[in-house]
Amino acid sequence: MDANTPAQDDSRSTKLDLKALDTALERRTIELPAGVTPGGSINTISVVPLGPSPTSQSVIVESPEQETTHYISLDAAAGALRSTSRPTPGSSLEVPDAHAGPFYGAKGAALKQFDESRAATRDHSVAGTPPRSVAGIGTKIGKPDYSEAKIVLALVGLPARGKSYLSNKLMRYLTWLEYKVKVFNVGQLRRKKALEREQMQGVKEDHNANYFDHNNSNAMKARESFAEESLESLISWLKAGGNVGIHDATNSNRARRAKIAARVSREPNLKLVFLESLCEDPVVIAANVALKASAGDPDYKGMSHEEAVKDFTKRIRQYEAVYETVEPFEWEGMPEEKDRDITPKALEERRLALIDEAAKNPGPNNPKVPLVTRQMAKNVSYLKVINVGKQLDIIRISGYLQSRIAYYLMNLHLKPRSIFMSRHGESQYNVDGRIGGDAPLSPRGEAYAQALPSLILDNIGDKPLKVWTSTLQRTIQTARHLPYPKLTWKSLDELDAGVCDGMTYEEIEEEYPEDFANRDEDKFNYRYRGGESYRDVVVRLEPVIMELERQENVLVIGHQAIVRCLYAYFHNISQDDLPYINIPLHTVIKLTPKAYGCDEERYKVPIQAVSTHRPKPKTETDAQGDPAAVEKKRSTTARNYYGDDQPA
């Protein structure tokens, strides 16, 4: 029966509301009510609203074998459509019980007919955000429009207080959420300029502790120049399309911060947030000093570790002598503004004079007077992180993006920890080559589940550990032998393949060759009809990321797409490469967060399993053809001392 066939009066006929059923399948909002077990032949299958909300829909099934009408799940209806030939008048459609088994096999021919029959109504069931760009079973979704988000995030803090740690964490998090983020590190610019002069003039500059003495006027002018050049580069980058530019510098006195506020105030679309990192924990400071002295910093080239520690400690003392913490009074506006007779020119002259005076004698004893006008301060917000996450002060934070930054910072900590990630053991669907579903483990997958506890125990020892799984049985079965507290997350469920759930890639390619090619062309943005894209998965995993940042030792037992997304976050891998990260079965990935990235170890359990990895297709712009190329792009824990143009 096609979409234009009139409904039959015969009680044995099958009535199918194609438009409503398709819309409901795409929304996937209804599950089978508890205690209802539909089955048998049916007279009528249609979709009706169950409440005032247009998304509250279910499938009604009227069965001649049963006296009462039953509601069946949309999944069951979809399964029936995929697994039977097209219903005709006078025939019955067998609807499987949604609770009868853990998974079902799906076919593609009936679904293709279903698509063709609904051509007239297709446009009405498309979500209103991005335009449809492919035909058939899926759509490509567009990137969110963040063009209006423009933030200058200026760091404040003494050396060895975790500023670069915070800037790199924020860059990784916001980039994972698809904001354009870049760090403009003044120290990198200083070292790069010094290297260029050394290469051109053959003279090596000595940037020891004396270079950072406030009384060294020549060095002070040079450092101010580097800070201003870095800020100008940042603003130009934001105006060219960036979202968050991070000014990574000490910005340690009010005069410097007033100059930043005045400069940003001249750009009408930019917001300014100061992020101050205060740390009084001697253990954390000592660890940061030791890392700085031993990590290959060019400032200490040729020095012993002891000499480097001594010089860097002296540098910190130079900064401490003139350091001024961020305080609310800075952004109250100048008292002189209350003088109605003062002209704008006279007010600006007064402001510049106050800045010069403050710059000459910075430090705790500097008179606490505002150095910016109320107009300049209007768009200034600030955050103060104390002891890297133990306390966060939030002042005048507004808007979605600023709120996300503040919330993320609330969840950070520096405690040593490891994050273990593993896919579930091999499932029966893996063996069959099918995607999605809720299949149980295969015999080899069960063997992996039994071997997993000893592997984890060998690596974690007697340290506490939490185990997270999805709600799907293959992850729960994989975790059941682990002697640790377990938490089940719906957010960790596998990428929803929608109407292709239960199909093989060969079936999808055969039935929908155009869609198969379109997904390969842009796998991150391709959304299955009634299902998800990788972009959708990233969005729903954000709460998981927040909780992972708060926790200590965690083992995540997930699925291929889920582990790919989490892995990409910790290693700062791009969206283009994310869907092609190789996450093999029966392998545990151990990530140990460090100051500038994550160390990684992999443990392969010697239990054979199928490979479900599909390499990134070669294109004109990416013809490297190296299966390990994506893994090579992951971030490193080594610090970059020269910026984007770091020399070999």
Range picked from 16-20, 136-140, 205-209, 323-327 for highest mean pLDDT: 323-327
pLDDT attached to residue 633: 52
pLDDT tens string 543-601: 999 999 988 999 999 999 999 999 999 998 988 899 999 999 999 999 998 777 788 99
pLDDT at 144 over 50: yes
96 contacts 82 by C-beta, under 8 angstroms? no
pLDDT band of 71, cuts 50, 70, 90: very low
Q: Tokens 């503040």 appear where?
A: 406
Residue 277: burial class (beta carbons within 10 Å; 0-12, 13-18, 19+): buried
| Marked catalytic residue, from 248, 297, 511, 515 | 248
**Which DSSP helix (H) or strand (E) runs through 186?**
helix 186-201
Can you tell me the mean pLDDT for 149-155? 94
Higher per-residue confidence, 564 vs 329:
564
498-508 pLDDT, tens digit each: 888 898 988 88
Strands 597-604 and 587-594: antiparallel
Structure tokens at 184: 């403009």
Q: Which of 207, 424, 559, 586 is catalytic?
A: 424
Rounded CA-CA distance 319/250 in Å is 9
Dihedral sign computed on CA atoms, order 137, 142, 143, 149: negative
Mean pLDDT of the region 344-354: 89
Q: Which tokens hold the place of 524?
A: 């991150």
Residue written as tokens 């540098």?
Answer: 315
**Distance from chain centroid for Cα 269:** 25
pTM: 0.73
pLDDT exceeds cutoff 70 at 27: no
For 400-447, the pLDDT digits (tens) are 899 999 999 988 877 788 999 999 999 999 999 999 999 999 999 999
424 catalytic residue (yes or no): yes
- Helix, strand, coil abundance in the chain, percent, nearest 5: 40, 15, 45
The whole-angstrom distance between residue 543's C-alpha and the CA centroid of its chain comes to 10
In the sheet with 151-156, reading across from the earlier edge strand, the strands are 181-185, 244-248, 151-156, 271-278, 380-386, 391-395
Choose between 605 and 92: higher pLDDT.
605
246-280: pLDDT as tens digits: 999 999 999 999 999 999 999 988 999 999 999 88
> What letter does residue 71 receive in the DSSP assignment?
E
Q: Of 213, 276, 297, 494, which is the active-site residue?
A: 494
Q: Are 407 and 385 a contacting pair, CB within 8 Å?
A: no
CA distance 448 to 454: 11
